[in-house]
Structure 1
């Protein structure tokens, strides 16, 4: 396939604009650093807690509107085995932001944490916090791989450009401006990226609907004469467990992403952080509508009337590329180029967030507190930059493996949902949670998740839940096993923490067995409070006399 030179020039022009804005924002970041009297690394990580509401809503929405969201939603609606009812991204992310605003924004922002791992470090110490960084890091790398794979497939179809070259160029642009400006560069480029995604995708919709090869989507909503399927889809009782599991994974798993909390913590106040979450809930839902329409159009198209021909994309195993295929074969060339621009913008708006997310946690919670406690602010900023580069390279390398965008999208949040979310809920909302319970819950979560298997990673299930099915030698679990794993981990944290504390308080367990020193610290804290309380009582008594 020949390279579309005008289209390539247009996309490269868009990349240059984004890069220029990112560099401009990095200069703004440096000005803030010069006037900052506190920790300069916080300028890079949370923008000095000076991100206004409008920019906050843009950057929070843009973070979630990635290649996985746009292409994964279109893939679900188009796929004959799924349909609209399986396009869980928009309602899941709407729920994610609402819950984030209600239950996480205030406790995180009011205590002025810098990263999502700070509450763990304050309660459990450095060692266990280091362990919790691992699933968060893996999730971010998978997220980067997911969105880059989405872009590589899109550019190869529309522009005729090598998928490998597309991935490398896009990754390089995101890494450069995130490397230079931290959250300021990420936030300000997100404004341009999200605006472009919105207008370009909606501009493509009329051309898709009016294409001669497309049947009116209102007529194919229930029965498509050419395929016998409905793009609305149907949910059978036997599939309800899998559907609920994937919905909850995206709706709740997103609460354990550092990228979400980074934006919450960058707000000027707790109230502003909550408002940002609620406003982003509405915008994220609206941003998913074009992908739903594109999926419906693709399902209603007679591909034999296009240059693509038969068999259709689903039968060729190209359902994951349905969005770029629809743009390329069902719209004029200049319109499809706008579409590729929107996917490129979505990729960079999410990739930069994932890069900064992992780099921030490593620098703040591992390097600064464990490896180099005396590190200067200049040194910490360079650690953030090097971390951005390494995470970017890891995700880019993994993106070359291909695979379903929708599957990568789910797996990127899987570990966080099953292991990190219960930990975050416990540390913020259960004051009795202690290190023993946290470790037990983490071990239970990891073991159950591994035993349940993961086809995408080639891990066979050793624990089979009711309703499992086997096809072509691959076992698929239809029971909500991820949610069961998350709940088991959550209950383990609470129950073990309560039992251990009960044992030490009532001396059922010898004090010498407190190997982690959890209850020695509590005893010291209580001992410090008693004299203060007694002094206060004596003061009141003497005053009355």
Structure 2
């Protein structure tokens, strides 16, 4: 396939604009460092905590509106086996921001944390924090790999450009401006990227809707799929568990991503963080509507009237590429180029957030507190930059793994939901949470998720939940097993923490048995301030002694 030179020039020009804005953002960051009361590393991580509502809304929304959101929504609407009812990104991401604003923003921002892992480090110590960092890092690296792989495949369709070249160029641009400016560069490029995504995607919609391949077929299709199934989809009772699981992974699992809290913690106040989240919940929903419309039109189109021909995409297994295929075959060439630029913007807006979030938690919660407690601010800034570079290289390398990348990306999302989300709830809202309960919940969440199996990674299930089916030789669980693992992990943290707290607080367990030192450093005055559910029992014991 020949390279579309004008299209390539347009995309390169867009990349240069983004790079220029990123470099300008790095200069803004250096100015803030000179006037900010906080440390320079905090300016890089949370922007000096003076990000206003407008910028906050843009950067929050842009983080979630990535290549997976835009392409995945069109794929779900178009695919005959799914339909609109399975396009869960729109309601789930809106729910994510609503819960983030109403429930999590105030306790995180009011205590002036720097990263999502700070409350864990304060309560549980360095060892458990390092353990919790593993699924966080894995998720971000594979997130980067997944969006880059999607972009590479899309550019190869529309521009005729090598997938490898597309991946490398996009990765280099994102790494460079994130490396230079931290959150300021990410936030200001997010503004441009989100505006471009909004304008370009809505610009593509009328051309796709008015395509002859669509309008000529409307009389017979009635906006149904070309194989007779409806684009609305159908949710049967037997599939309700799987649907619920996937909705909650996106809606609640997203609350355990550092990228979200990086934006919340950068706000000037807790109230502004809450307002930004609530506004972002509306914006992110609107941003997904063009993808829905394009998916509907692709389902109604007569592909025999296009250069793509028959059989249609779903019969060739190209549902995952339906957005670029629709732009290429149902719209003029220049419109498809605008569409690919919008996808590139979406990919970079998600990639830079993932890079900076992982680099932030490693520097703040591992390097600064464990490896180099006396590190200078200049040293910490360079650790962040080097971490961004290494994480970017790792994600870029994995992006060449095609389907395996998608499999690991999905699995990493499961781990965040099953292991990190219940821990976050407990560390913020459960007054008796301690290290013993945290370790038990972590192990149970991980163990149950692995024993449920993962066909994408050829892991057979040990536990068979009700409603399982055999599809293409693999056992598929239609029971909400991920949510079960998350709830059991949550219950384990609460139950074990409560029992251990009662045991040590009521002197039922000898202090020498506190092998994790969860209660060792408490002074007598601190112990008096701790909640005592067994006050009467404790007084009785002290009287007898």
Same fold per TM (> 0.5)?
Answer: yes
- Equivalent positions of 1:294-443 (< 5 A) are 294-403=294-403, 410-443=410-443
Aligned residues: 530
Deviates more, 1:34-43 or 1:284-293: 34-43
Question: 1:54-105 CA deviation, whole Å, 9 max, x = no partner?
Answer: 0000000000000010001111001000000000001000000000001100
CA distance, structure 2, for counterparts of residue 410 and residue 245 of structure 1: 13
* Structure 1 residue 430 displacement after superposition: 0.4
Answer whether contact 2:223 2:300 (CA < 8 A) is retained.
no
Answer whether contact 1:45 1:356 (CA < 8 A) is retained.
yes
Question: 1:166-185 CA deviation, whole Å, 9 max, x = no partner?
Answer: 01100000000000000000
TM-score between the two structures when normalised by the length of structure 1: 0.94
* Structure 1 residue 528 displacement after superposition: 7.7
* Structure 1 residue 234 displacement after superposition: 0.4
SS at match of 1:522: coil
Q: Tell me which residue corresponds to 2:210.
A: 210
Deviates more, 1:406-415 or 1:18-27: 406-415
Question: 1:264-283 CA deviation, whole Å, 9 max, x = no partner?
Answer: 00000000000000000000
Question: 1:25-78 CA deviation, whole Å, 9 max, x = no partner?
Answer: 101111111223431100000000011110000000000000010001111001
Matched, 1:164 2:164: yes
Distance 1:54 1:225, change over 3 A: closer
Distance 1:4 1:437, change over 3 A: same
Question: 1:145-185 CA deviation, whole Å, 9 max, x = no partner?
Answer: 12111111110000000111101100000000000000000
* Structure 1 residue 225 displacement after superposition: 6.7
Q: Tell me which residue corresponds to 1:533.
A: none
- Equivalent positions of 1:125-274 (< 5 A) are 125-215=125-215, 224=224, 226-274=226-274
Answer whether contact 2:225 2:231 (CA < 8 A) is retained.
no
Distance 1:123 1:210, change over 3 A: same
TM-score between the two structures when normalised by the length of structure 2: 0.94
Q: Tell me which residue corresponds to 2:63.
A: 63
Matched, 1:508 2:508: yes
Q: Tell me which residue corresponds to 1:452.
A: 452
Structure 2 gap segments, 5+ residues each = 531-545
- Equivalent positions of 1:474-489 (< 5 A) are 474-489=474-489
CA distance, structure 2, for counterparts of residue 305 and residue 255 of structure 1: 44
Matched, 1:26 2:26: yes
Question: 1:460-496 CA deviation, whole Å, 9 max, x = no partner?
Answer: 2222111111122222110000100100000000000
Q: Tell me which residue corresponds to 1:540.
A: none
- Equivalent positions of 1:463-474 (< 5 A) are 463-474=463-474
Q: Tell me which residue corresponds to 2:494.
A: 494
SS at match of 1:314: helix
Deviates more, 1:467-476 or 1:384-393: 467-476
Question: 1:435-459 CA deviation, whole Å, 9 max, x = no partner?
Answer: 0000000000000011112222332
* Structure 1 residue 213 displacement after superposition: 0.7
Answer whether contact 1:209 1:216 (CA < 8 A) is retained.
no
Structure 1 gap segments, 5+ residues each = 531-545
Give me the CA root mean square deviation.
Answer: 1.8
SS at match of 2:475: strand
CA distance, structure 2, for counterparts of residue 105 and residue 220 of structure 1: 50
Answer whether contact 2:154 2:324 (CA < 8 A) is retained.
yes
Answer whether contact 1:217 1:296 (CA < 8 A) is retained.
no
* Structure 1 residue 502 displacement after superposition: 1.4
Answer whether contact 1:74 1:323 (CA < 8 A) is retained.
yes
